[in-house]
Amino acid sequence: MRILVLNADYPRFLAWLYQSHPGLENASYAAQMAARNASLFGVADFYSRNFSASGHPAAEIHVNNSWLQSAWAREHGLPVAIAPPGADAPRALPGWLQRAVTPFKPLLRPLARKIGLSPQLGTQAETILLAQIEDFRPDLIINQDTFHVNASLMRRIKGIGNPILIGMVGIEPSRGEDWPVYDLMMSQLSTTVNFFRNLGVRAEVNHLAFEPAILDALPAAPEPDLDVSFVGTVSPDHRQRIALLEAVAERYDLKLFGSRPQALAASSRLHRCFQGEVWGADMYQVLRRSRVTLNSHIDLAGREAGNMRLFEATGVGAFLLTDFKDNLHTLFEPAREVAVWGSTGDCLAGIARALADEGSRAAIAHAGQARTMQQHTYGHRTREILEFAEQARARR
């Protein structure tokens, strides 16, 4: 089975990547892809390398990296040129408006796409993507970015050899989309899976993961020099997270790694905690430098655990203090493989205990890493996806 994985990168990450490698935008497609994967950001080539290890030729396409995509076009004789990454990024809304529309995002996304406030591919970017699919002739396409590659474009893609289409959605899905175009939808959240099933679309839970090869690619683990850290997004979609981090910042020397959001109130004590953004390998090193790594799920996750930080932090052997969720025990054993907080007071007390007991921190970090290697790698996840794909093929 030939497998193609579609994904997109944050414009800020792409700016950092190309600034870190002067002249990379003029390099070959293979060289740019190698630099992108070597960054270790996001899922890199973790899906394709594990599909390939299982005997299934696989590749990724980063649909919104216009320098990378233009290189492919040049090398395949396509007379197209598209704007640099981020040039077509949606306009940012004022902070007060971001906070106001947050509860209505699933309903507003179709309108946002029409008026240019939602990520989407331009005509030439679509032309390149369709040519790549024609060239690769996949039996299975996994779409990990349903914004840039929307259902309408997936309908056109389906006309190229009728591949099995699997979509991956980690947030609350948009309303009014042509979701039945997919043979299967996957999410780490059972509520999202149920959303699709209620529409008559087949859906399954498939969790995020960690790639063990990351450990071989990272420099030596640094000595811990950060008491408490949080790496991630702070936005109107993370109100519970903001409240928690502000309480932590009042008592501890919290280091926040991420972008300073426009929507954060000017009076927030978090402004003094921001250390800037870290990507890929640098992010993993921050996790390893931290005596306590905090985790707080996005608000829409509700009572479910499953975000990327669970697996990234435990995978590199960091001590993780995460929010309690009803299904957490199905992923990690609370208090043995990850430390758990159920309220702001719990979190503050958990930080105090962890900082005072290095032996306990090390034992939990070791057990968490062992659990991740045993059950939560991309090798495990890709084997699940292959089973889903075979089931989808049998239904045709």
If you average pLDDT over residues 231-257, what whole number do you get?
91
The maximal CA–CA distance of the chain, rounded, in angstroms, is: 62
| pLDDT, position 104 | 47
Cβ(380)–Cβ(209) under 8 Å?
Answer: yes
Query: Across the chain, what does the average pLDDT equal?
Result: 91
3-state secondary structure of 314: helix
pTM over 0.85: yes
216-375 CATH fold: Rossmann fold (3.40.50)
- 68-72, 106-110, 258-262, 375-379: segment of lowest average pLDDT: 106-110
pLDDT at 119: 75
At a CB cut-off of 8 Å and minimum separation 6, what does 220 contact? none
Q: 392 — phi, psi (to 5°)?
A: -65, -40
Residue ranges per domain, the chain? 3-209+378-395, 216-375
Confidence of residue 342 (pLDDT cuts 50, 70, 90): very high
Distances in Å between the alpha carbon of 85 and those of 9, 89, 112, 190, 267?
Answer: 9, 8, 20, 34, 33
The band of 118, judged by pLDDT with boundaries at 50, 70 and 90, is: low
284 to 33, 46, 174: CA distances (angstroms): 20, 15, 32
Interatomic CA distance for residues 153 and 148, integer angstroms: 9
* Half-sphere CA count of 307, side-chain side, radius 13 A: 22
Q: Residues in the chain, how many?
A: 396
Q: Which residues contact 301 (CB under 8 A, 6 or more apart)?
A: 189, 307, 325
Residues near 154 by beta carbon (within 8 Å), at least 6 away in sequence: 143, 165, 167, 178, 181, 182
Average pLDDT over residues 126-149: 97
Q: List, for residues 174-221, the tens digit of each pLDDT value.
A: 888 999 999 999 999 999 999 999 999 999 999 999 999 999 999 999
CB-based contact 16:259 (threshold 8 Å): no
Instruction: Tell me the angle at which helices 239-251 and 344-356 cross, rounded to the nearest 10 degrees.
Output: 50
Mean pLDDT for the stretch of residues 377-389:
98
Does residue 94 register a pLDDT over 60? no
CATH classification (class only), 3-209+378-395: alpha beta
Residue pointed to by tokens 């958990």: 350
pLDDT for the residue 264: 82
As given in the structure block, the two tokens for residue 287 are: 């996790």
Domain 3-209+378-395 matches domain 216-375 at the CATH topology level: yes
User: For residues 305 and 328, is the Cβ–Cβ distance under 8 A?
Assistant: yes
Range with the poorest average pLDDT among 26-40, 47-61, 88-102, 298-312 = 88-102
- Find the range with the poorest average confidence among 42-51, 99-108, 226-235: 99-108
